[in-house]
Structure 1
Amino acid sequence: MICKIILKLSVILIFLCAFQMLGQEKEFSGDPDGAFNTARDLATNNQRKQAQDTLLFILTKYPDYHDVRIYLATTYGWDGDNKKAKKEFEVVLEKDPKNKPAWQGIIQNELWANAPFIALKMSDRALEHFPKDADILFLKAKSQEQIEKNSDALDTVNLILQENPDNQKAEELRYILRKKVSLNTIGLIVSADFFSEIFEPIQYHSLKYGRQTKLGFVTAKLNFNRKLNTNGTQLEIEMYPKIINGLYGYINAGYSNSSLFPKTKYGAELFKALPHGLEASLGFRTLNYATTTNFYTASVSWYTGNSYWSFRPYLTPGDLGTSFSGALTYRKYRSDADNYFSVSAGVGYSPELNQFNYTAVDNVKIGLKSQKINLGYNFTSRNQLNIYNTQFGITHQEELSSPGDYYWVYFVAFTWDVRFR
């Protein structure tokens, strides 16, 4: 505590002395190195203006003290005064074109100013003086990333890692860029329901291919279902079209000639981003078996810190009235959106909540009571190109033939997705 007080008093005293010199002298006289250290202490103690005054005062006597001018320019950049910063960096580079810190500073300043095209041009100029320099190449890659030339940025990062395989910053940026340039995804879903009584296990598997397009992410699926010693397949397509900033949609359609799937299915939903990390949606789904089932859904989601909450209700009109079901989902994210733990709890019987063992032979089934909980874990490989998901769920389901009696359904699933360019 005493040491902190002494340090604060020393900084104040140094500042007062520097201020007095500024008021009394037009040109600096004293130890420039000591004054430079004083300015750095002031800057790191959130006294930026006083630090800048001290740096400017040093330059009245030592205009070619480039480290001082570069630090002055950097503090301008921290304050968002990018024009002033650029001017000071240019003074240094005009006199010393091979000053690497000045090149790094002026490129970073353009990135802070949201001028990545200028930053990229300056990176190429700097590389003429410092070929294959890892620090300059990294700034070039950041410039390319900002203008969405992600493939070029990845090539630049790979150049860094060829010469510097232990460069942690470059490695982290490569992981990010790999995800951005990997527009294609193939995946496999393997899942099964096991029943405590009545039914044999039900298998549900899916082979899928997805691609990020300008309109949004599109996925085509070939689904396989095995139930009651019968096999069936279904073709399905999903799309998340981008409409405007903060507004996107969901479109789904499927076809099958097997009784284990609806002959046709389709649905749509509209999602809208709201203030304070909220998102809301409204949509519908339709399943066409021997009879047609329509149900309506909505959602309210909340992103807060590394947590995600979502509540989704379903309303299904039927002969006996409208049935309600719903699910509450929580996710705890780790390093990014592909790494999280999830838990979901649902009540009521819905064709979507119970998609693996739903058959529309009787809409009366929709009115059955049901409670469900599901645990999941989503994670990636070290290079983030492989995405894995494991799930385990338990459902307490009322029997169709004996209302009031229940059986248990145990659900397990594993998903593996691979991203590639």
Structure 2
Amino acid sequence: MVTNAMSNYIMAILFFVCTVSFGQQVFKGDPDRAFEVAREMAFNKQRKQAQDTLLLILTKYPNYHDIRSFLANTYSWDGSYKKAKKEFGYILKSSPKRLDTWEAAIKNELWSEAPFSALEMSNNALKHFPDNPDILYLKASAEDASNNKEEALLTIEDLLRNHPNHEKATTYKKNLIDKLSHNTIGLTSSVGIYSEVFDPMQYYLLSYGRQTKRGSILAKINVSHRFQETGAQFEVDMYPRIIKGLYAYLNFGVSNSFLYPDIRYGAELYKSLPKSFEASIGFRALKFSTTTTIYTGSVGWYTGNSYWSFRANITPGDPGSSKSGTLNYRKYRSDANNYFSIAAGAGISPENNIFFFEGNENAVITLKSQKFNLGYYFTTNANKNSWGVQAGVSHQEISFDPGSYFWIYSLALSWNMKFR
């Protein structure tokens, strides 16, 4: 932090090295020393005074390009992108061989959210510096920002052919491939072991997802083996984007097995809120011998690398409504696909706990239950493959023996692969 004494000292130096004719505002003095002092001022929260000094030097030395380039950079740092562009343009018109000025000028256009201008500048710079890796990297950034990720990937691949050890380009290529991988296939396998009464339950999931401009679509085949029976369910999930900060969840599924509802469907709206909060409200409907409707809602909160959420479910019925709730916590690492999770909940939701017998649904949803699970999720091969392992335990009331409980110990493994 610069003290008042230090500030006065700098200004005193500037007074001695710069003498000004106020009538003509023409610099007289040592430009190198004045430039040095102006730089110190710029980096010590005296940006405006530094810019005034740099402009003053340029009245006498208009082609002192290091000074003009530094002035342009200070404008860019302050968000005065048009001023910066004007100064960069002045330099490049007379000295197009200044690589650092081209780089700074292109970055200025990217920061000002003018990717097409940045792309034009990049192409012009490459005429003077063919195959320069830093210019090619900025060109790819401009192509990416102008929503042309395929061209950006080609540019990065061109860069890496001649500069295979360029670390930033290598990382950027992985990110671009991840963005361009709109398709996903996945497999999940889990087993639930009961402390008594039932044989182990097995569950398998095969899924295919597609990311579109309107949102994502996920097709799923669920297969369960329990109660000495095997059954399948076919589902489609959709997440359409409506407007910025608002999207929906839509679901429809069918089955011909008593292990699953004959038909299931649901809808939910999700809304982003201030302070990194998100809320949702919706319903799920499950048709066995009768239709069970579950009303659901959630509140989520992002804070740093952590995410908290609470989901509540209410299922009306006789002799009363069934209520359940689950609290989730995630600790993210490098991105949204790499995290550790903890979840704890109470009460049965028939959406997540399918232990129905034909004609006994209303009795089941009022049962008491508690659950706890841990999960760890990570990616490999430049985010192409996603892996997950989850272990949990549930304490659940027995449907045909109210007041008695059994334990369910579960383990699940999952794998997803992105591809173009």
Deviation at 1:147, TM superposition (A): 1.4
Q: Please tell me whether the aligned partners of residues 182 and 419 of structure 1 are also in contact (alpha carbons under 8 angstroms).
A: yes
Deviation at 1:10, TM superposition (A): 5.2
Taking a change above 3 Å as real, the CA distance of residues 129 and 369 of structure 1, as seen in their structure-2 partners, is: same
Deviation at 1:57, TM superposition (A): 2.7
Deviation at 1:21, TM superposition (A): 5.4
After superposition, the C-alpha distances for 1:185-240 in whole angstroms (9 at most, x for unaligned) are: 11111111111111111111111110011221000011111112221111111000
Partner of 1:317: 316
Q: Please tell me whether the aligned partners of residues 70 and 101 of structure 1 are also in contact (alpha carbons under 8 angstroms).
A: no
Counterpart mapping for 1:384-399 below 5 A: 384-399=383-398
After superposition, the C-alpha distances for 1:137-161 in whole angstroms (9 at most, x for unaligned) are: 1111111111111121122222222
Taking a change above 3 Å as real, the CA distance of residues 60 and 360 of structure 1, as seen in their structure-2 partners, is: farther
Partner of 2:61: 62
Partner of 1:347: 346
Partner of 1:93: 92
Cα RMSD (Å) of the superposition? 1.9
Counterpart mapping for 1:113-262 below 5 A: 113-262=112-261
Deviation at 1:349, TM superposition (A): 1.0
Taking a change above 3 Å as real, the CA distance of residues 301 and 72 of structure 1, as seen in their structure-2 partners, is: same
Letter in 2 for 1:184: N
Give the SS at the match of 1:405: strand
When the two structures are aligned, how many residues end up with a matched partner? 416
After superposition, the C-alpha distances for 1:371-394 in whole angstroms (9 at most, x for unaligned) are: 001111121114011111211111
1:265 pairs with 2:261: no
Partner of 1:13: 9
Partner of 1:43: 42
Query: Percent identity, aligned pairs only?
Result: 52
Deviation at 1:29, TM superposition (A): 4.1
Q: Distance in 2 between matches of 1:382 and 1:46?
A: 44
1:71 pairs with 2:70: yes
After superposition, the C-alpha distances for 1:315-370 in whole angstroms (9 at most, x for unaligned) are: 11222221111111111111211111111111001112324x45554120111110
Q: Please tell me whether the aligned partners of residues 291 and 360 of structure 1 are also in contact (alpha carbons under 8 angstroms).
A: no
Q: Please tell me whether the aligned partners of residues 17 and 30 of structure 2 are also in contact (alpha carbons under 8 angstroms).
A: no
Taking a change above 3 Å as real, the CA distance of residues 360 and 60 of structure 1, as seen in their structure-2 partners, is: farther
Deviation at 1:273, TM superposition (A): 1.2
Q: Distance in 1 between matches of 2:356 and 2:327?
A: 20
Q: Distance in 1 between matches of 2:285 and 2:301?
A: 27
* Comparing 72-81 and 51-60, the one that deviates more: 51-60
Q: Distance in 2 between matches of 1:184 and 1:252?
A: 19
Taking a change above 3 Å as real, the CA distance of residues 359 and 344 of structure 1, as seen in their structure-2 partners, is: farther
1:334 pairs with 2:330: no
Partner of 1:410: 409
Deviation at 1:79, TM superposition (A): 0.8
1:304 pairs with 2:303: yes
Q: Please tell me whether the aligned partners of residues 265 and 287 of structure 1 are also in contact (alpha carbons under 8 angstroms).
A: yes
Q: Distance in 2 between matches of 1:56 and 1:232?
A: 78
Partner of 2:20: 24
* Comparing 74-83 and 223-232, the one that deviates more: 223-232
Partner of 1:381: 380
Deviation at 1:22, TM superposition (A): 5.1
Q: Distance in 1 between matches of 2:110 and 2:285?
A: 49
* Comparing 7-16 and 180-189, the one that deviates more: 7-16
Taking a change above 3 Å as real, the CA distance of residues 360 and 172 of structure 1, as seen in their structure-2 partners, is: farther
Q: Distance in 2 between matches of 1:134 and 1:12?
A: 44
Q: Distance in 2 between matches of 1:328 and 1:55?
A: 58
Partner of 1:295: 294
Q: Distance in 2 between matches of 1:204 and 1:90?
A: 64
Q: Distance in 2 between matches of 1:202 and 1:358?
A: 14
Q: Please tell me whether the aligned partners of residues 11 and 38 of structure 1 are also in contact (alpha carbons under 8 angstroms).
A: no
Q: Distance in 1 between matches of 2:389 and 2:39?
A: 51
What TM-score, normalized by structure 2, do the two folds share?
0.94
- Structure 2 residues without counterparts, runs of 5 or longer: none
Give the SS at the match of 2:365: helix
Q: Distance in 1 between matches of 2:341 and 2:17?
A: 62
Letter in 2 for 1:213: T
Q: Please tell me whether the aligned partners of residues 246 and 271 of structure 2 are also in contact (alpha carbons under 8 angstroms).
A: yes
What TM-score, normalized by structure 1, do the two folds share?
0.94
Give the SS at the match of 1:320: coil
Q: Please tell me whether the aligned partners of residues 194 and 202 of structure 1 are also in contact (alpha carbons under 8 angstroms).
A: yes
Give the SS at the match of 1:404: strand
Q: Distance in 2 between matches of 1:380 and 1:372?
A: 27
Give the SS at the match of 2:274: coil
Letter in 1 for 2:138: L
Letter in 2 for 1:151: E
Letter in 2 for 1:279: E
Q: Distance in 2 between matches of 1:180 and 1:95?
A: 40
